[in-house]
Amino acid sequence: MGKPTGFKEFKRQLPLDRLPKLRVLDWKEFHEHLPEEELQSQGARCMDCGVPFCHTGTLIAGMAAGCPINNLIPEWNDLVYHGHWREALDRLHKTNNFPEFTGRVCPAPCEGSCVLGINEPPVTIKNIEVSIIDRGFAEGWVVPNPPPKRTGKKVAVVGSGPAGLAAAAQLNSAGHLVTVFERADRIGGLLMYGIPNMKLDKREVVERRVKLMEAEGIVFKTGVEIGKDIAADQLKKEFDAVVLCTGATVPNDFFAKTPGRHLKGIHFAMEFLHANTKSLLDSGLEDGKYISAKGKDVIVIGGGDTGTDCCGTSVRHGCNSLVNFEVVPQSPAERAANNPWPQWPKIYRKDYGHEEAAARFDYARMPGKTLADDPREYAIQTIEFLGDENGNLRALKTQRVDWSQPVAGGAMFTPVPDSIEEWPAQLCFLALGFRGPENTVAQQLGVELDPRSNYKAVHEKYTTNVPGVFAAGDCRRGQSLIVWAINEGRGVARECDRFLMGSTDLP
């Protein structure tokens, strides 16, 4: 433990983000760092609890509680407090291959389970984490670390998202010859094309790590779709083991039977976000190969990070208006009685995209809006998409819902009478999550699926029904957090190494 009076003396503090009205003018990251002295003070707030919950990494009420990759949080907080930044970096890398990713885009379940958070604002764990790794790169401490010897065993990793990259990094460190196959033109999976640049810079953050991994001996092959460009069973012939980390890429479409779903202008969120980032990286959006929201009324259906990303991207395009629909009720300002610590706190938050929309539009004057400083509308369902004579989307018809009156044996809410409204929209983005992985690879390899259509493999074993074929990440557990993906990538590497060598030293 560092300063005995830590949290009593220092209040929680976060760095100021760039102002919303200014940051929407570019695609650069909007987060800043605290000065070193203030970071040390924030580290001092961590009191090295007798039973720390921040790094437990368990599931409570279906949500992550604590860090799923078991980061040694109290230890590196104390090291930062004492100014031992290099040692803090070493401690951070013991459990996390990519703290520059998690420190930017993880929702920080560690902070939700911080013991201090029972009755005080929690420790600023996420910001300290990203500050450690960013300083490590700035000081030149993060360098390629290839294995001292090779085993001669060859492993194919299919998919280059956080699970695939973590698996590749760990297997390479064990001395295996690792080849990562990615069907997109750039490495990173959702890190590259699913998360906008203003949250996670592609060239300065993602590609920096990929180049480091290449220097350590990992081979990356882009533009190669397993199951199409290379038959999946061919991998089994050429490699000693195959690790499937394809992600959960089949989107949910809860509006498939809703009237007007076929209209032009309705898109899945990832279709919008992927094309935008690719065009941004290829040409600075000069090639026009993306869905532009400029001058259009935009409605985003679905909350969460993806919905927020659609909001932030649309505002940067220069949309005419923006509304975000959520069918669930608005969360309370503080934990409800049925959401106790150390569960993830289900409380009302405004993310970056909501702040930017509120800075851009006057919601107090918008017809039908109930929140004057937030683009979101809660407890509302879309019942019809309305089009013009040319088959283009022109509006959404909605109805309010009442969650206090569930239908016996049916829906968890009832429609509110006389609450039908029309909202103008020429673009609608569906941010409704993902159903599971595409199954072409599984079919070709003969991998069994579980009842939810994911690749069937037991957690912490990651073995499928096909010997030598492993599965990890979202394709195995379903859509989840980046930290769970890294957890599974590290876990599958451990079990794959055991399969190849008979034993393993990987954590």
Q: Return d(Cα 374, Cα 361) in angstroms, integer.
A: 9
- Tell me which of 113, 139, 165 is where a domain ends: 139
Q: Are residues 415 and 276 in the same domain?
A: yes
Q: Are residues 231 and 198 in the same domain?
A: yes
Q: What is the pLDDT of residues 190-228, one digit of tens each?
A: 999 999 999 999 999 999 999 999 999 999 999 999 999
In a domain, 149, yes or no: no
Q: Are residues 241 and 292 in the same domain?
A: no
Q: Is the pLDDT of residue 2 over 70?
A: no
Strand partners, 402: 414
Q: Return d(Cα 202, Cα 501) in angstroms, integer.
A: 35
Q: Are residues 203 and 270 in the same domain?
A: no
C-alpha 73, offset from chain centre: 20
Tokens of 297: 């009324």
Looking at residues 391-410, what average pLDDT do you find?
95
Q: What is the pLDDT of residue 332?
A: 97
Q: Are residues 38 and 124 in the same domain?
A: yes
Q: Are residues 163 and 188 in the same domain?
A: yes
Q: Are residues 333 and 406 in the same domain?
A: yes
Residue 34 pLDDT level (bands cut at 50, 70, 90): very high
Q: Are residues 72 and 201 in the same domain?
A: no
CATH number, residue 271: 3.50.50.60
Q: Are residues 117 and 158 in the same domain?
A: no
Q: Is 211 helix (H, G, I), strand (E, B) or coil?
A: helix
Q: What is the pLDDT of residue 256?
A: 96
Q: Let me know: does 315 contact 356? Beta carbons within 8 Å.
A: yes
In a domain, 86, yes or no: yes
- Tell me which of 430, 458, 475 is where a domain ends: 430
* Total structural domains within the chain: 3
Answer positive or negative: Cα dihedral of 172, 177, 181, 186.
Answer: positive
In a domain, 97, yes or no: yes
Going by C-alpha positions, the residue among 486, 491, 428 that lies closest to residue 459 is: 491
Residue 96: which domain range?
6-139
Q: Are residues 215 and 275 in the same domain?
A: no
Across the chain, mean pLDDT equals 96
Residue 309 pLDDT level (bands cut at 50, 70, 90): very high
Q: What is the pLDDT of residues 311-348, one digit of tens each?
A: 999 999 999 999 999 999 999 999 999 999 999 999 99
- Tell me which of 401, 430, 459 is where a domain ends: 430
HSE-CB at 110 with a 13 A cutoff on CA atoms is 26
Q: Return d(Cα 455, Cα 436) in angstroms, integer.
A: 9
Q: Return d(Cα 471, Cα 171) in angstroms, integer.
A: 14
Q: What is the pLDDT of residue 6?
A: 87
Q: What is the pLDDT of residue 481?
A: 95
Q: Are residues 64 and 175 in the same domain?
A: no
Q: Are residues 56 and 124 in the same domain?
A: yes
Going by C-alpha positions, the residue among 502, 491, 501 that lies closest to residue 169 is: 491
Question: How close are the terminal C-alpha atoms of the chain, in Å?
Answer: 26
Going by C-alpha positions, the residue among 100, 48, 94 that lies closest to residue 69 is: 94
Q: Return d(Cα 431, Cα 1) in angstroms, integer.
A: 43
197: left (phi over 0), alpha (psi -120 to 50) or beta: alpha
Per-state percent for the chain, helix, strand, coil, to nearest 5: 35, 15, 50
Q: What is the pLDDT of residue 236?
A: 93
Q: Let me know: does 111 contact 123? Beta carbons within 8 Å.
A: yes
